Structure 1
Amino acid sequence: MSKVAIITGASSGIGAATAELFHAEGYKVVLAGRNKDRLTAAASNLHDAITWAGDLTSSKACNELIEFTLSHYGRVDVLINCAGVIHRYTAEETTDEHWENTMAVNLNAPFFLSRSAIPHMKTSGGVILNIASDWGLQGGQLAAAYCASKGGLVLMTKAMALDHAKENIRVNAICPGDVDTPMLKVESEQRGMDYQTAMIQNNADSPTGRITLPAEVAALCLYLASDAAAQITGTAIPIDGGNTA
């Protein structure tokens, strides 16, 4: 029987690349996000993939996504929390709305979804992967709320891994640096830079001379979801070209 993977933020970037790779490897995939049309487009070449659109900052919506998946496939094997947002401001410049939005998307949604999924993973085991950031491992400038949310996500990952290890549920965080995604373009605009200039700078700042590709993060997700990673849980793995070395 095919395993079932739910991937949030699946309409673009890391989420879309991950959905594509898991589908190619034989998983039944559920692409989740806010924008129905963009999800439909992302799933258009993935035969029998299904989509779910809604606001995952709501615990009710997270419960509905899990129930939607169970109604179609009867199981949840892998949950990958890819959806994320960034507001590039100092603490002084960060508004209440910036702070609340960052925490809601980057921390609350993964918690609500994990809480909903875990009871359904206890029978046959499961994997939860949280896409955090290398700025969840170290500080970054103009990103007070983002760093706080991703640091919280890393420690939430570790705590859940300990709580559920004996239930054969593994929980890990993946910590990318800059990745060539639409969110990086938005971030560049927030910094007052055109995307081309920002890309040149980001590539130059990386020890490897380039930023990470979404497909490379997807490949790490696939490994961590596999039986080959059976002893890996409670980790926060950088994939950042050496930025945190």
Structure 2
Amino acid sequence: MPEQETVLYHVEHGIATIRLNRPQAHNALNHEVLQRLLSFLNQAREDAAVKAIVLTGTGDAAFSAGADIRFLNQAAPLEVRSFAQLAVAVTHAIETLGKVVVAALNGFALGGGLEIAEACMLRVAVRHARLGHPEVRIAAVAGFGGTTRLPRLIGKGRAAEMLLTGRLVSADEALQIGLVNRVVAPEDLNAEVQRLVRDILAQSPIAVRLTWEAMHRGLNLSMEESALLGADYFGLVASTSDFREGTRAFLEKSSPSFRGS
């Protein structure tokens, strides 16, 4: 392995950890990082042994400081757009992976780094983390999906304040407004993320996947259409052996044994 891989990939007990690995640059995002991240996401998608993915960063300072500003300062407009399109492909891959994806925010998550975390199912942050979209402070826009996902996560008003002022929020405030799901001490981050992932993996994988799809797709539909989509998925999951097992176990007051079929 080269001395400095910009993104690391490791699988253990069915959980793939993808780690941004540019600590000297606060795990900033450049073309190489995004391309390798997309490649590892696709690898995890195709690996049946991988049941969940944890995205995190190297070090205790930053999950990711966002896009590499030095590149942005020198790049032509079409290069910047191409760079943003690659980042959008990454966030889209995260959302549509069909597997559990949790962001372990080991430090501050800013700009594009936060946009990657926003695409994940859940986010767990260390207590000293700070999160935000400071793009406007360099006359930029949150162009990796932040203007789309942040309002859906925390509401239009709160998102507008963060996006239009560039104000950073603490981990505790992020928890209060719904931007992260849990806040932990740094030494507890890995254990808490593993526990959360295991809690989800203990459920029927089909039910988990269809629940996420219903939520993700339903946000782009009217209220009635979204509810009908949920009803369709409810009927679809009723055709699985996991559904029969889950309802049987409930009635018999026993623990279900899901097989993912």
Output the TM-score relative to the length of structure 1: 0.34
Flag the structure with more relative contact order, 1 or 2, with Cα contacts below 8 A and sequence separation at least 6: 1
Output the TM-score relative to the length of structure 2: 0.33
Instruction: Please identify the structure whose Cα radius of gyration is greater.
Output: 2
